[in-house]
Structure 1
Amino acid sequence: MRIAFLNWRDSTHPEGGGAEKYAETVCTGLAARGHEVTLFCARHAASAALELKDGVRYARQGGRVGVYAASLRRLRAVERAEGAFDVVVDTQNGVPFAAPLATRSPVVVLVHHVHREQWPIVFGPAAARVGWVLESRVAPRFYRGRQYVAVSQETKAELVELGVRARDIAVIHNGTDAPIETGTPRAGDPRLVVLGRLVPHKRVEHAVEVLARLLPRHPRLSLHIVGDGWWADEIRRAASERGVEDQVRLLGHVDEVTKNRELAEAWVALAPSVKEGWGLCVVEAASHGTPTVAYSGSGGLSESIVDGWSGVLVDGLDAMVSTIDTLLRDPGERARMGAAARDHAALFSWDRTVEAWEALLARVVRGEEHTGMTDDFDHGPAPR
């Protein structure tokens, strides 16, 4: 198949994150299976307009907002020069690309999560209202009858609430990389870790607050923050205001070995995000036997974490503080939960994710009826 994949950014972008990891891994996996794949995404200062990497052609154009129109123009130009793609994947990261305006090829819509909660956090009231109307009312009508892919059952349920037919939505989870064995033991002193982009809706300030509240009970406690983003200065300010700047390390963007070492050394991971489509950071930490504490009602985190077994879902900041305090005091429970987290993470392979995508795209190209298929996993024993 000739496949076009439209995504806001790629992993080389300074603000790239889990959605970019998902897109690139799926594209690379499809290319390795013999398909011709082009990934259209935004350009940034350190990127090339055209690049071939791991068998995938990267076509970069436009910036934060301009990427949408620029990618449609380039998609149209490529199809004029080389012929139509067999299928186009349109990633709706709050704002869809509106690929049907540029191609007559079948279009599959990929949604990581619904941005209901994020719009007012990231934008002012007027822009947030426009964005939410576009996502919740315009997009479901514009793409009516097309095949959707959600990365979790929670995202599928939210799309159904917006009017997308359940039978039009397939669920294809994230995979996870085999952990890099760094050979480093768990840190001798208690340590928390947060992994992800530093943007407002990730609420990394909550992790800083957890640290500040627990320091009187755990005076050697520290917090390591792995990742970068335009909100980093706000997190530094929060640490300074709470007087814990000496206990907070912002590591920025790090290489894979460093990332794996940080996850392996941490005692507990935190995911205080407002919403995640899946929670790749959770499964990456779990692959090192590090359980995650996150908020309930945060989308796909209720699937990447099996509450009470491979991690804990809590209601509110006070409960997060209390739960982490308990885990820090109980090495036996941390070890039990960490082992369960490792077992849970092992269920999610990128090979399985790519296989599911290949099967779905082939069905779409053949013009078969939409599938509400899911790559559901056996989540292991029931939580205690």
Structure 2
Amino acid sequence: MRILILNWRDTRHPKSGGAEAVTMEYAKWWVHAGHKVTWFTSGYKGAKKEELIDNVRILRQAGSQTVYLLAPFYLLLHSHEYDLIVDEVHGIPFFSPLCTSKPIIVFIHEIAGDIWNFMYNPPISWIGKHMEEWYLRLYRKKLFWTDAESTGHELMERGIKRNQITVIHCPIPNFTRHIALQVHVKKEKVPTFIFVSRVVKMKGIEEVVKAFAFVQKELPLAKLWIVGGGEDRYVKKIVSMIREYGIYEKVTWFGKLNEKEKLIRMAKAHILLHASVKEGWGLVVLEAGFLYTPSVVYNVAGLRDVVRDGHTGIVITDNSPIELARASLHLYQDREIYKKYQTNAHTWAESLTWTDAGKKSDAFLKEAVRQVL
């Protein structure tokens, strides 16, 4: 089968994230299964217009601002070369139903919803939220694929039928797993909490800083590690906030680390804190769990799915910094529960394999083509 993936970035893009890493794992699996895979995406400074990565053909035929405009033209001219289109949504889709009659799968990690309010000011935020409702109507007869049950429920609330939705839990990327298996470090001697994400408002860094300020009052030796970069203006705002709370000496900001250094920090920390507005799945939670670091998270889509509440970590009931702090303190201070969650988090992360996810995705793709033929 000839598969075309439409995605705004590929794994070598400087701003690529977990979604791209996961998509590449699926793409590699499809190639291994005998399919031909092409990935249409945007370019970046110094990028090749076309290259082969793990036998996946990467076409960088647009800029970051034009990829959504040029992809439809590419479809109009080349859709006859493919048997299936994977239209991957990041806030907005590629509007592929307007350009081709070929089978289409909508690969959506989350319904953006209120994320628009955190990422953009009016009127863009208003336009984004309403456009989301419109494009879902455009795709209402297509098959949807997502990572978490919460997103599936949100799709149904917006009119997509249950039998159109397939949920496949994605494992941590094989590249990450391989490195994680080589990480053998002990936990820090003092209570250490970690935040791993892009430093943007919607990822909840402000909530985590506030929560840690509460934790630090109870555990004066506690530390907070921040792993991830962001725009200078927002980073400066967070640094000022840390100073205002009087915890500057207790917070270490590592910026964006390479994969090995990131995993070492995750393994040394005691608890991962995540207070995002919404996630598609929360891959970083699985990565931490694989390294025996349980998580305390907000009760939002994606995070409530990837954390097995009361088993691999804690999903708080009231999304507030004080509750995040209380739950974190409870988990850290109850050593028996903490050790149980450590083991469970590792077992859960280890149980999700690409062999299983790949087979499920392959069966789903074939079913999508059969339904159209």
Name the TM tier (shorter chain). Answer: over 0.9
| 1:310 aligned partner, one-letter code | T
Give the structure 1 partner of residue 39 of structure 2.
39
Aligned partners of 1:226, 1:198: CA distance in 2, in Å?
A: 9
Runs (5+) with no aligned partner, structure 1: 370-384
Give the structure 2 partner of residue 154 of structure 1.
150
Within a 5 Å distance, the mapping from 1:260-279 to structure 2 comes to: 260-279=263-282
Within a 5 Å distance, the mapping from 1:55-94 to structure 2 comes to: 55-79=55-79, 83-94=80-91
Give the structure 1 partner of residue 324 of structure 2.
320
Aligned residues: 364
The partner residue of 1:104 within 98, 101, 106 is 101
| 1:308 aligned partner, one-letter code | G
The partner residue of 1:123 within 120, 123, 136 is 120
| 1:326 aligned partner, one-letter code | H
| Percent identity between the two aligned chains | 30
Give the structure 2 partner of residue 187 of structure 1.
188
Change in 2 beyond 3 A, CA 1:347/1:278: same
Provide the TM-score with structure 2 as the length reference: 0.92
Give the structure 1 partner of residue 293 of structure 2.
290
1:323 shift after superposition: 1.1
The partner residue of 1:359 within 338, 355, 363 is 363
Give the structure 1 partner of residue 160 of structure 2.
164
Give the structure 1 partner of residue 239 of structure 2.
236
Q: CA RMSD in A?
A: 1.8
8 A contact 2:214–2:322 mirrored in 1:
no
Aligned partners of 1:69, 1:172: CA distance in 2, in Å?
A: 29
Aligned partners of 1:367, 1:168: CA distance in 2, in Å?
A: 11
| 1:21 aligned partner, one-letter code | A
Deviations 1:246-273 (A, max 9, x none): 3222222222211221111110001110
1:180 shift after superposition: 2.8
8 A contact 2:114–2:129 mirrored in 1:
no
Aligned partners of 1:174, 1:146: CA distance in 2, in Å?
A: 21
Q: What secondary structure is seen at the aligned counterpart in 1 of 2:39?
A: strand
1:214 shift after superposition: 1.9
Q: Which has more helix, going by share of residues? A: 2
Give the structure 2 partner of residue 50 of structure 1.
50
Give the structure 2 partner of residue 143 of structure 1.
139
| 1:267 aligned partner, one-letter code | H
Deviations 1:24-71 (A, max 9, x none): 111122122221111122222242222211111111243444221122
Aligned partners of 2:117, 2:273: CA distance in 1, in Å?
A: 23
Give the structure 2 partner of residue 222 of structure 1.
223
Change in 2 beyond 3 A, CA 1:284/1:299: same
| 1:346 aligned partner, one-letter code | E
Runs (5+) with no aligned partner, structure 2: none
Change in 2 beyond 3 A, CA 1:245/1:32: farther
